[in-house]
Structure 1
Amino acid sequence: MIGAGTMGRGIAMAFANGGLPVTLMDKDPAQLDRALEAIAGDYRAAVEKGRLGNDEAARRLGLIRRAGGYEAVADADLVIEAVFEEMSIKQEVFRELDRICKPEAILASNTSSLDLNRIAGFTSRPERVIGLHFFAPANIMRLLEIVRGGQTSDEVLKTGLELSRRLGNTGVVVGVCYGFVGNRMFLPYLREAELMMLEGVPPERIDAVAVDWGMAMGPHAVTDLSGLDVFQRLNAANPARPDDPAWFRVCDLLCEAGRYGQKSGAGIYRYQGRRPQPDPEVTELVRQEAERLGIPRREIDDSEILERLLLPMINEGALILEEGIAIRSGDIDVIYTNGYGFPRHRGGPMFHADQQGLEKVLAGIERYRQRYGDRYWRPAPLLERLAREGSSFSAWSRASGA
């Protein structure tokens, strides 16, 4: 396990919890110390709460070894990278792994959005490179996006699926694109949440509508929890970033002000502990920016808030299906109900769209297209075709043999 940050230590615990020995490697001894102390603390807490016995906690902790250099991975069968989400750093790591690891070793990246094919290209063994995108906290969240690169072999893909089962994860195979399935679809959801702020809707109201509908958290609470700076870096790497001055402008301004979310005590909300509080400073900042951008303020009802959160997500899902990034609509639903807080009783975004009827979904998208134009509201060709035929995403998946 390369990288002893939050994700690295969580993945190490996931392996230990699954009974698999794991070496946690980081060049920074202090970072390793912090990670191992945090892991030990998590196991102590599990014992205190009666979730684990002392012997079992000690056994799991004993499966995690530490290492300060790449030589420790020379004989590893599988190496997972979970370093900083920048391509230049991934390049350095994978070139070193390719040099040191045995030829039959599988090299995996935990990247949440970067181009796995480029990462594989840093090695002489692209057929043995795979994406294993765990979700934080990795020792608790069960979802695992298994990213098949353009040259990933069937054997390596099969190993990824077997590993997922061994760890007790819900593994879903996805293809390569920015953000894969989960984060790519989440982007338009977050985009509309921020644009509605610029149009005058308080963030707490947007979040309340989402939670009342069944989402585990509202979009603004999610970005504050994940870290606005993390999202800003991911967004900066988006190759499809539009030439739009309003594009996540609020996020950029908050980061410039040092407001990164819960970890800094303030983001979209201000925090007392972990409790979010609406912040008049943010209200004024957003008002001034909307005025500068020429975005008119208007009354928006709850039904529009919900439509503008869900419809772009569904439309992006249709594009993902047509591009072959997801094999079937049900895979998208599994990802969203297991990793993104989508309400299980709604069945997932694509199932929900089928239940609503794709003609109704398309009509809603066309309505916002008339107001806002094609930039964000052009219907996916697959959605248009299925709506015209009176069909559904699930029927299309079955007909495609998925």
Structure 2
Amino acid sequence: GVEQALEMVTSGKHVDAKTAHAAGLIDEIVPEGELRPAAVALAKRVLAEKRPLRKVRDLDDKVVAARGKPEIFGSFRKANARKFRGLLAPEYNIRCIEAAVNQPFEEGLKVERKLFMELMTGEQSAAQRHVFFAERQVWKIPDVPEDTPVIPIRKVGIVGAGTMGGGISMNFANVGIPVTIVETRQDALDRGLSVIRKNYERSAKGGRLTMDDVEKRMSLLKGTLKLEDLADCDLVIEAVFENMDVKKDVFGKLDRIVKQGAILATNTSALDINEISTAVKRPELVIGLHFFSPANVMRLLEVVRAQRTSKPVIATSMQLAKKIGKIAALVGVCPGFVGNRILYARQLQANAMLMEGAMPWDIDKVMYDFGLPMGPFAMSDLAGLDLGWIREKSSSSTIREVLCEKDRRGQKTGAGFYDYDENRNARPSPVTEQIIRDFAAKSGVPQRRISDQEILERCVYAQINEGAKILEEGIAIRPSDIDIVWINGYGWPVYRGGPMFYADTVGLKTVVAKLKEYGPKLGKDFTISPLLVKLASEGKRFQDLK
């Protein structure tokens, strides 16, 4: 029937023989190895019984049942609107079935061919093919051969049982690797292990695990208050407070405790790993493993090589990422690495446009409509505006500081850039709007209406420009690696192929021209990447970089 067909063609889920038989897609299922004799027997039976020869094109009993019932398609679209958002292929599949129901067979075929050709030759198809190959290319590291020896990882230590530490631990328990988790206080350790158990039990309730699986995975997790219990680990990942002094102190202690030859990794999202490695006598064994939150869910792992990180440590980290089901991108050391550095470039433009007259919900809507899960200000409210904010040092110097000082710290306090109801549904806030207007007036910045096009171009083209600088500096190996980071770590829509691929579809000449046009609005410290300018002047694309 039509309902089942809609589900099949838009999901792409595998349909086994039993399901196909039950759905009427096939007439008979026969034992393995008996296909030919069974088919011959069926043909003879059809002849002997003088059954009419049926053409699939003439079988329209299920189709007729749906004719004149547009609500079938309307309700299916509505039920899947969130899942299909922005993607052309599911909508075109639905239209093909609508045509099969409402038009003669030949006309239905014409509609199908027309829509298929549109998809095949369109940007969304090209983007998704790009991502398919980029996901395979990202594992290839030019200076780390495939036969590089790896370090066996039989036991992992995690320092910190908070949100990140707990999530990271689950990745290893999921694949049968024992984990020792260290905390400084028993209550923090108990809380961390309790959250892990609840996460697993939620998966069991959803049918993704059995309760036996839950107990098996929990049995692989050992909590302790002693760093000394990490002595025999093959890999230790530090996931403590994002402070250089704290991290160097932890690494210094680990260097004295953990066995020689073990890898010491940091989960820092932005700090200088070269400096962290100065705290140890084995800098060649130090690497960044930047998991994304929630670490047990998000696919991306930024593997950050420091100046002295050895090739076996890099090879081991990449192999381990694959084992725990992550997609890993090898990047270099700079503030924010690849993902957060590009995020910061976008945030600078978003903050500047707040001062110039755009409201948070204006900017967020443009980014959401572009295909991202949420805009920069909704994301800030979700994470908490007080991340890194210290009340004693706050001086109302930014809009964020003013909001925090008024106890508007995001979703958790019921108000941030937005106001929230008891179910955390956001609505534009007149309080925030007044705060922004007053702040801009006090700063002497004139307000104006900013178009959706300017919002999109300033946010996205600034990201592209930062990506080009990252390539110039050798922080990322290739443009497609940046695309992989942003698709898997920040929700960039797969049908737009990542920021660097998107730049190629827009045209680098257009990107450069627009950045020059916006000029001073982009900030006094903003500079256009020489690589971006060079490629644009030569009529090349990022994809042409080899």
After TM superposition, is the score higher than 0.5? yes
Find the partner of 2:350 among 175, 193, 198.
Answer: 193
Q: Deviation digits for residues 209-241 of structure 1, max 9, x if unmatched?
A: 1111111111111111122222658xx9xxxxx
Q: Which amino acid is the alignment partner of residue 32 of structure 1?
A: L
Identify the residue that residue 155 of structure 1 maps to in structure 2.
Answer: 312
1:105 and 1:262 mapped to 2: Cα distance?
41
How far the C-alpha of 1:44 sits from its partner, in A, is 1.2
Identify the residue that residue 75 of structure 1 maps to in structure 2.
Answer: 232
* TM-score of the pair, normalised by structure 2: 0.69
Find the partner of 2:542 among 385, 393, 396.
Answer: 393
1:373 and 1:133 mapped to 2: Cα distance?
29
Quick one: structure 1 residues 310 and 231, their matched pair in 2 at CA, closer, same or farther if it must change by over 3 Å? farther
The secondary structure found in structure 2 opposite 1:375 is: coil
Q: Which amino acid is the alignment partner of residue 263 of structure 1?
A: K
Identify the residue that residue 182 of structure 1 maps to in structure 2.
Answer: 339
The secondary structure found in structure 2 opposite 1:315 is: helix
Quick one: structure 1 residues 228 and 194, their matched pair in 2 at CA, closer, same or farther if it must change by over 3 Å? same
Instruction: Say if 1:311 and 1:361, in contact at 8 Å, map to a contact too.
Output: yes
The secondary structure found in structure 2 opposite 1:140 is: coil
How far the C-alpha of 1:98 sits from its partner, in A, is 0.7
How far the C-alpha of 1:352 sits from its partner, in A, is 0.2
How far the C-alpha of 1:253 sits from its partner, in A, is 2.1
Matches within 5 A, 1:51-130: 51-130=208-287
Q: Deviation digits for residues 285-330 of structure 1, max 9, x if unmatched?
A: 1111101111110011111111111011100000000000001000
Quick one: structure 1 residues 278 and 374, their matched pair in 2 at CA, closer, same or farther if it must change by over 3 Å? closer
**Unpaired runs of at least 5, structure 2:** 1-157
Identify the residue that residue 309 of structure 1 maps to in structure 2.
Answer: 459
1:323 and 1:202 mapped to 2: Cα distance?
34
Identify the residue that residue 24 of structure 2 maps to in structure 1.
Answer: none
How far the C-alpha of 1:205 sits from its partner, in A, is 1.6
Matched, 1:343 2:493: yes
Instruction: Say if 2:410 and 2:416, in contact at 8 Å, map to a contact too.
Output: yes
**Unpaired runs of at least 5, structure 1:** 237-244
Q: Deviation digits for residues 308-366 of structure 1, max 9, x if unmatched?
A: 11011100000000000001000000000001111110000000001111000100100
Pick which of 193-202 and 302-311 moved more: 193-202
Aligned structure 1 segments of 4 or more residues deviating by more than 3 angstroms: none
Find the partner of 1:279 among 429, 454, 458.
Answer: 429
The secondary structure found in structure 2 opposite 1:385 is: helix
Instruction: Say if 1:224 and 1:268, in contact at 8 Å, map to a contact too.
Output: yes
Instruction: Say if 1:232 and 1:251, in contact at 8 Å, map to a contact too.
Output: no
Pick which of 224-233 and 140-149 moved more: 224-233
1:45 and 1:66 mapped to 2: Cα distance?
21
Find the partner of 2:170 among 4, 13, 37.
Answer: 13
Q: Which amino acid is the alignment partner of residue 191 of structure 1?
A: L
* TM-score of the pair, normalised by structure 1: 0.93
Task: Provide the aligned length of Structure 1 versus Structure 2.
Answer: 385
Matched, 1:209 2:366: yes
Pick which of 275-284 and 62-71 moved more: 275-284
Quick one: structure 1 residues 330 and 165, their matched pair in 2 at CA, closer, same or farther if it must change by over 3 Å? same
Instruction: Say if 1:270 and 1:277, in contact at 8 Å, map to a contact too.
Output: yes
Instruction: Say if 2:277 and 2:283, in contact at 8 Å, map to a contact too.
Output: yes
Instruction: Say if 2:179 and 2:220, in contact at 8 Å, map to a contact too.
Output: yes
Pick which of 44-53 and 258-267 moved more: 258-267
Identify the residue that residue 257 of structure 1 maps to in structure 2.
Answer: 406
Q: Which amino acid is the alignment partner of residue 488 of structure 2?
A: N
1:22 and 1:301 mapped to 2: Cα distance?
51
Quick one: structure 1 residues 31 and 374, their matched pair in 2 at CA, closer, same or farther if it must change by over 3 Å? closer
Pick which of 380-389 and 249-258 moved more: 249-258
How far the C-alpha of 1:372 sits from its partner, in A, is 2.4
Matched, 1:360 2:510: yes
Identify the residue that residue 372 of structure 1 maps to in structure 2.
Answer: 521
1:96 and 1:166 mapped to 2: Cα distance?
28
1:171 and 1:54 mapped to 2: Cα distance?
30
Pick which of 195-204 and 338-347 moved more: 195-204
Quick one: structure 1 residues 317 and 373, their matched pair in 2 at CA, closer, same or farther if it must change by over 3 Å? closer
Find the partner of 1:318 among 450, 468, 471.
Answer: 468
Identify the residue that residue 29 of structure 1 maps to in structure 2.
Answer: 186
Instruction: Say if 2:458 and 2:522, in contact at 8 Å, map to a contact too.
Output: no
Instruction: Say if 2:349 and 2:522, in contact at 8 Å, map to a contact too.
Output: no
Identify the residue that residue 267 of structure 1 maps to in structure 2.
Answer: 416
How far the C-alpha of 1:261 sits from its partner, in A, is 1.4
How far the C-alpha of 1:91 sits from its partner, in A, is 1.4
The secondary structure found in structure 2 opposite 1:66 is: strand
Identity of aligned residues (%): 48
Q: Deviation digits for residues 129-153 of structure 1, max 9, x if unmatched?
A: 0000000000000100000000000
